[in-house]
Amino acid sequence: MQYSHMLGIDVSKHTIDLALSQNKAGAVMINKKLTNNLKGYKALLAWLIKEKVQLEQVLICLENTGIYHRSLVAFLQSQQTFVWVERL
């Protein structure tokens, strides 16, 4: 599958830091910080829509941070997104 966008997420106990880029050379990266809770996860989806990113066209990558990433991954999977969790 060819993704139009990549979304990197740095997960910590209280926040998620987002870095969104188009899947092309020289693409601009857009950053955002949200809370690591359901309110933040819903804001993430709203932000992607605002940026005109279709959920089925974005690959979301994040690091396994023990317990801090689990609820985010469960939420993203419930939205049928493509999530890649990297091991430490």
Residue 22 phi/psi, 5-degree rounding, is -75, 155
Q: What domains lie within the chain, and their CATH numbers?
A: 5-86 (3.30.420.40)
The predicted structure's pLDDT at residue 88: 66
State residue 55 phi and psi, 5-degree precision: -60, -35
Q: State the average pLDDT for the chain.
A: 92
Backbone φ and ψ for 45, nearest 5 degrees, come out as -65, -45
**Which pTM does this prediction carry?**
0.90
Question: What pLDDT sits at residue 2?
Answer: 83
How distant, in Å, are the alpha carbons of 1, 20, 25 from that of 72? Answer: 23, 17, 29
